[in-house]
Amino acid sequence: MRRLLYIALLIFALVTAGCGTETEKSAGKSSVGENLVVVSLPVKFPERWIIDGEELQKNLKAKGYDVIVDYASENSEKQAFFLDKAIKDGAKCLIIAPVDAKSLVKICEKAKEKDIKIISYDRFIMDTEAVDAYITFDNTKVGVLMGSYVADILRLNSRADAVNIEFFAGAEEDNNSLMVYNGYMSVIKPFIDSGIVHTPSGETEFKKVCTEKWMPEVAEKRMDRILKDYYSREKLNAVIAPNDLLANAIISSLGKSGYKVHYPVITGQDADKVAVINILNGRQKATVFKDTRILAKNCADLADDLIKGKPIKADDENSYDNRRKKVPTFLIDPVLVTADNAISALVDSGYYKKVELGLE
C-alpha cells in the first residue's frame, strides 16, 4: 500500500514538474486579458532559446505587457494546445517559433478571428494568411557563411586533389533547416559537380541529411555509422553541421573513432558556450553567431507596433512566401565566428562573460 502511494506521489511530482518548468510567467498583474503577449518557443536547448525567452520577456515587460513564455519540447501538439489556451486567455499578440512549420494553420486562423496579432519568430510559419510578420536572422546567409568558410579553409577554388565532406541538416519540419541547407549547398554544390568534393556516404540530399527533431543523439548515431561504413581508409576533411548542438554530437562521435587532435573542419550555428570552448581549443572550427538580444528587442518593438495598429516597415516584403501570403519580413545579419573573432564578437559584445567560457 505504502509502495503504491509512493509511486502515485512520484508520478504526480514528475507530471507537475514537467508542466511547471517549461512555462515562465512575468511577475506583476494577472496575465489574463488586456495586456497579454504570449511567446511560444520550440525547446529549451540549444541555450539560445533560453536567451530568446529571457530577452523577449524583459523587452516586452519594459513596454508594459504581461508576458508568458512557454517551451514546447519540440512537440507540435503541445505547442498547439498551449497556443489554444493563449487565445482563450485573451492574448493580444502571439510570438511563435513553430516546432512544425506547417501544423499551426488552424490555431493561427482561430487567433486571427479574434484579431490577435501573430509574429513568426525565427522560424517561418507556413500555409496561412494569418501571420502578420516574420522576424528572423537571414537563414540562407547562415548556410552561405558555413559553406563559404569550408570552401575557403579547404581552398576548394584552387586545389587539384579532392576532399571528403559530410553534410547534416536540422529537423525536416523546421523551415530554417532547408534554408540553411540551401545556403551551404549554393556554395558547395558546384564543387561536388566538378569532382573536387566527394561525399563517400553518398548522403547529400536534404531529406537524407535531416536530423529528427534536431536531436544530438540522432546526429551522433548517423556520424558513428558513416565513420564505420565509409571512413576506415578515407580521410574526412569537413562536416557541415547545421547547429552547435549537432556539431558537438559529431565531435563526440569522432572522439569515439579515435580523433583527438586533428579534427576535420566542423561548422555550427548559435555560438553555444560549449561550441565556443570547442572553437577555442580547435575541436570545432566555426559557428554562426545570431545575436538573440537584437532579435528579441526588435521583436518586442514589432509586437508593440502591431498591437497599437501602427504601420510596419519590413526589410523584405517579397521573398518570404508561406504559400498563402508574402509575409513582411524583418531580417537580422548572422556573423561567422572562428577562433580569431570569438572574443570580440561574444565577450566584448557582452553576450558571454569570460568566466562562462572557462577563460578566467
Query: Which segment (61-69, 81-89, 168-176, 191-199) binds ligand BGC by CB under 6 A?
Result: 168-176
Count of helices and strands (H, E) across the chain:
12, 13
Residue 291 makes contact with ligand BGC by CB under 6 A: no
Closest to ligand BGC by CB, 92 or 123 = 123
Closest to 315 in 3D by CA, of 135, 119, 144, 125: 135
Residue 121 backbone dihedrals phi, psi, to 5 degrees: -110, 120
> Rounded CA gap, 306 and 119, in Å?
9
> Rounded CA gap, 108 and 128, in Å?
7
Chain position whose Cβ is nearest to ligand BGC? 243
Can you tell me which of 40, 140, 164, 269 binds ligand BGC, judged by CB under 6 A? 269
Can you tell me which of 53, 98, 147, 170 binds ligand BGC, judged by CB under 6 A? 170
Site for ligand BGC in 111-150 (CB under 6 A): 122-123
- Min. distance of Cβ 271 from ligand BGC in angstroms? 10
Can you tell me which of 37, 38, 39, 48 binds ligand BGC, judged by CB under 6 A? 48
* CA end-to-end distance (rounded Å), the chain: 54
- Min. distance of Cβ 262 from ligand BGC in angstroms? 27
Closest to ligand BGC by CB, 128 or 269 = 269
Can you tell me which of 176, 253, 284, 322 binds ligand BGC, judged by CB under 6 A? 176
- Min. distance of Cβ 356 from ligand BGC in angstroms? 18
Taking CB atoms within 8 Å and a gap of at least 24, the contacts of 207-210 are: 207/172, 209/167, 209/168, 209/169, 209/181, 210/169, 210/170, 210/171, 210/172, 210/177
Alpha carbon separation from 66 to 34, 62, 73, 107 (Å, rounded)? 9, 10, 23, 21
- Min. distance of Cβ 242 from ligand BGC in angstroms? 7
Taking CB atoms within 8 Å and a gap of at least 24, the contacts of 109-115 are: 110/84, 111/83, 111/87, 114/87
- Min. distance of Cβ 36 from ligand BGC in angstroms? 25
- Sheet of 133-137, strands arranged across: 23-25, 66-71, 36-41, 93-96, 117-121, 133-137, 329-332
- Min. distance of Cβ 307 from ligand BGC in angstroms? 25
- Give the count of alpha carbons within 13 A of 115, CB side only: 5
Site for ligand BGC in 198-257 (CB under 6 A): 214, 243
- Min. distance of Cβ 169 from ligand BGC in angstroms? 11
- Min. distance of Cβ 171 from ligand BGC in angstroms? 7
| Orientation of helix 76-88 relative to helix 105-113, angle to 10° | 10
Can you tell me which of 138, 174, 220, 291 binds ligand BGC, judged by CB under 6 A? 174
SS3 134: strand
Closest to 116 in 3D by CA, of 141, 85, 144: 85
Closest to ligand BGC by CB, 59 or 269 = 269
Task: Please tell me the count of residues contacting ligand BGC according to CB under 6 A.
Answer: 13
Can you tell me which of 35, 39, 41, 46 binds ligand BGC, judged by CB under 6 A? 46
Closest to ligand BGC by CB, 31 or 269 = 269
Closest to ligand BGC by CB, 216 or 231 = 216
List the x/- string, 25-44, binding to ligand BGC by CB under 6 A.
-----------------xx-
Interacting residue ranges for ligand BGC, rule: CB under 6 A: 42-43, 46, 48, 122-123, 170, 174, 176, 214, 243, 269-270
